[in-house]
Amino acid sequence: MLAVLLFAAIPALAQEPATISVLERREIALDSGAGMAGSELRLTLAYLDGSGWTLEAIAAAANESARILRQCGLALKTAELIRVAAPGRFHDFSTPLSRQLAAALQLRKPTIYFVAGTRQRPAFDAEAIGRGNSRTRPELRDTVWITRGACDLAVTLAHELTHVLMDSGEHADEPGNLMREETAPGNTQLSVVQCARLRENATANGLLSLP
């Protein structure tokens, strides 16, 4: 019986990709508002093949996040969706392995990575890495890592992306604010001051294109 089980496992092992590679690239339209003429933000959305993510779930979350960030005068018209093949050890967020993944792919920033889980401790469902918290891990600069455990996916995406665009890990206490520590469907608002900071820092860091 043991020999049979080992034999059955061989095809599964053989199917795991040996290297990191891009399997597919496609452009998707985002609903940031008809005729929107604000500063343009172009996202890269990368997901690991076999990590449980689907194109439909990612596109829906990106669309809703675009509508949330529209309040700050951002135009998210398109995004590049990239399906990535990588050995299973890269499917969970881990600083040393994810640095290797990002370095191998060299994707346009800001990049949102959709992964299976996390090996970081403490474990977060999503993590944003801007300029201020990437000095010892420069390959991860201007990226967001979202796991399958993340709730309220669109709000989580908008929240973590705002951390990157603001280049700040600060949270807000105001009811309904997007940057409250706990993401929730009703927390989608950004103040005038937050929007101004977002646009200023993101533009200075080359993440926004002026109209």
The answer as to whether 5 is a domain residue is: no
In this prediction the pTM is: 0.90
The answer as to whether 14 is a domain residue is: no
The answer as to whether 9 is a domain residue is: no
The answer as to whether 118 is a domain residue is: yes
CATH code of the domain containing 195? 3.40.390.10
Report which DSSP code applies to 61.
H
Count of the separate structural domains present in the chain = 1
The answer as to whether 89 is a domain residue is: yes
Residue pLDDT, tens place only, 86-112: 999 999 999 999 999 999 999 999 999
pLDDT for 6 beyond 60: no
Q: Which is it for the CA torsion 41, 77, 91, 15, positive or negative? A: negative
* Crossing angle of helices 55-69 and 153-166, rounded to 10°: 60
Q: Report how far Cα 210 is from the mean position of its chain's Cα atoms.
A: 22
Domain span at 33: 20-204
Cα–Cα distance for residue pair 172/178, rounded to 1 Å: 8
The answer as to whether 7 is a domain residue is: no
The answer as to whether 13 is a domain residue is: no
**Nearest of 129, 148, 125, 126 to residue 137 by alpha carbon:** 129
The answer as to whether 198 is a domain residue is: yes
Residue pLDDT, tens place only, 27-39: 999 975 654 567 8
